[in-house]
Structures are given as structure tokens and as C-alpha cells.
A = this chain, B = another copy of it.
Amino acid sequence: MRLSHIIRAQQFNRDILAEVFSTAKEMEKIVKQGGSDILQRKIMATVFYEPSTRTRLSFESAMRKLGGEVITTENAREFSSAAKGEALEDTVRIVDSYADVIVLRHYESGAAERAASVSIVPIINAGDGPGQHPTQSLLDLYTVEKEIGHLVGLAIAMVGDLANGRTVRSLCYLLAKYNDVKIYFVAPEVVKMKEDIKDYLREHNVSFAEESDLKAVAPKVDVIYQTRIQKERFGDRTEDYEKARGQYIIDKSILDIMRKDAIIMHPLPRVDEIRPEVDADPRAAYFRQAKNGLYIRMALLKMVLLG
């Protein structure tokens, strides 16, 4: 099955998701064996109009571990011809002759789709503004499947900034593909999950509930997906930020009431919404989750470049 462009979480059906995940499992083996040469002589261009060192390094490590080469810019907005008024489409038409795959991060929603409309090589969306970040969504889902063992019948609490959190929004779209999922939204009043996602879940018969008491929800779920209250989204509404921040914290008291086989996830970076005391607990899955990003990105690179 050949993937061409990877633009949004919703483009994947359950069959392709299964294929991505089984390829990611292969990739774990390849990493353990010290890498591979299957992408030898292939070139990946990371074109980032908005810096994101971690995502970029993750893609670049993935490409290297498969024997491929990388050309890269993290300053495309400031340094490239974009500053002179060039259209993204023109830039893509040029870079697609330098590379076999373009990993694009952009500050505008829809940018990846525009790039894909002109590119002769696959585009992988590494985040386009408030829009999509599909490789993050895939690694999240992969982590749940790998750690919990199933997606059908999953119970998950999404906690924190649900209004602005791109990861939890995308995860809702993906979870809607599986039966008997139950989602608990636990968010401060000012950053509650938005109506569009709730409508989507209703249409797809996904059961969800909005809860205010994390302690009531914690014992019931397979996964607590904690997110950071994003200060940068509040502008000068510092009062709102302070109100939201610190309302839902994962600490030892939450660990004590969680199931033994449940896990805690977080897209990282975290600030203080998960206390350091939690890190040593085997249920703290967030660093394993980050590592899964490497396997997922290796799998996607293999799939778009070799089919």
C-alpha cells in the first residue's frame, strides 16, 4: 500500500493505521539492530517555517536510522524567499527537485495541502499552525495500542487545555474509528473542548462526558492524556491563564487511585502539570510515547519512499 502525502489525521482508515503500526513495530527491531540502509541515497528536506527542534530532530533521526540523507532549514520564514513575497507553492516547486520527500512545518493552517497540490515528491505535514500534526496523532494512537493492547473499548481521560490542544483534538478524530471508546474531557472552564469535536463524536456515536473532578475520573480509565496549559495562547489574559494552570495536576495522589495497568501520556513539553515524582512510575508513558514518534516517522518515511 503506497502512501503519497501525509496531510491530516483523518486521511487514515483502520487498514492503513494497522499497516503503519505494523511497520512501526518493524522499525523498533531495526533500531535495536543498529539501523538499516533501505533509504540509502534518498534525501529528505525538512522545511520548517516555524521552528520545532524536537519534531525536526525526530524526523532527521528517523531518516538517518534508515540510511537516508537530510537537508534542512528551521528558519524558512525569516531566511527564505518567503520574506521576499514568494508563494509557498513556488518554494515547493523548487525544493521538490532537491529532495525525495519534503517534511513541512508551517504557521498557516492548510499549508501542507497547498504544498501537496504542486509537489512531485511526497509532503509530510509536520504541523501546519492551528491545523494538523498527523505524525503526532499517529504516535499517540500507536502508544495507546502498544501500551494498552487494544483501541476498541478504550476509556481515556483528556486533561488540560482541550480548546487549543491540537493533539487531543486529532486523537478524537482517530479514536472515532474504533468501537466502544469512552472519552472523558477534564478541562478548566476557559479551555473546554470545542463544539466541533463534540459534534463530530456525536455523529460518530462516540460516547463522551465532560467532567470537572479528575479524581473521580482517574480510577475509571486506561489512559490519562495530560496536556500543558499553553501560556502563549492566552495573550495578555494572564488572569485566565493563572486560573487554568494548576487546576489539574498529575502527582502521587493521582497515581494512587489509577488502575495498575493504566498509563499517563503527554505530548511534551510539560511544565509542572505532571510532577517529577511521577516519572519513575512504570505507568508514566510519556517518554516512551516520545520515542514511539521515532518509529512512526521511520515507518511513514519507509511507506512514502518505498511503498
Binding site for B on A (CB under 8 A): 34-35, 41, 43, 45, 51-54, 56-58, 60-61, 64-65, 69-71, 73-76, 78-81, 84-86, 90-91, 93-95, 97-99, 228, 230-232, 268-271, 287, 290-291, 294
Contacts of A57 in B (CB 8 A): 45, 71, 73, 95, 98
B86 & A268 in contact (Cβ 8 Å cutoff): yes
Q: Answer whether A85 and B269 are a contact pair too, CB < 8 Å, given A45-B57, A73-B57, A93-B287.
A: yes
Q: Answer whether A76 and B97 are a contact pair too, CB < 8 Å, given A65-B43, A269-B81, A271-B84.
A: no
Instruction: Select one of B41, B60, B90, B287 contacting A268, CB under 8 A.
Output: B90
B270 & A86 in contact (Cβ 8 Å cutoff): yes
Contacts of A69 in B (CB 8 A): 64
Q: How many copies does the complex hold?
A: 3
**Further contacts, 17 of them, CB under 8 A, given A34-B41, A53-B80, A84-B228:** A53-B73, A54-B81, A54-B91, A54-B94, A57-B71, A57-B95, A57-B98, A61-B71, A64-B69, A64-B71, A81-B268, A90-B268, A91-B269, A93-B290, A94-B291, A97-B291, A98-B294
**Separation of A290 and B131 alpha carbons in the complex (Å):** 31
Contacts of A98 in B (CB 8 A): 57-58, 60-61, 294
Closest chain B residue to A89, Cβ basis: B276
Closest chain B residue to A31, Cβ basis: B97
A290 & B85 in contact (Cβ 8 Å cutoff): no
**Separation of A71 and B287 alpha carbons in the complex (Å):** 20
A73 & B74 in contact (Cβ 8 Å cutoff): yes
**Separation of A76 and B230 alpha carbons in the complex (Å):** 19
Contacts of A76 in B (CB 8 A): 53
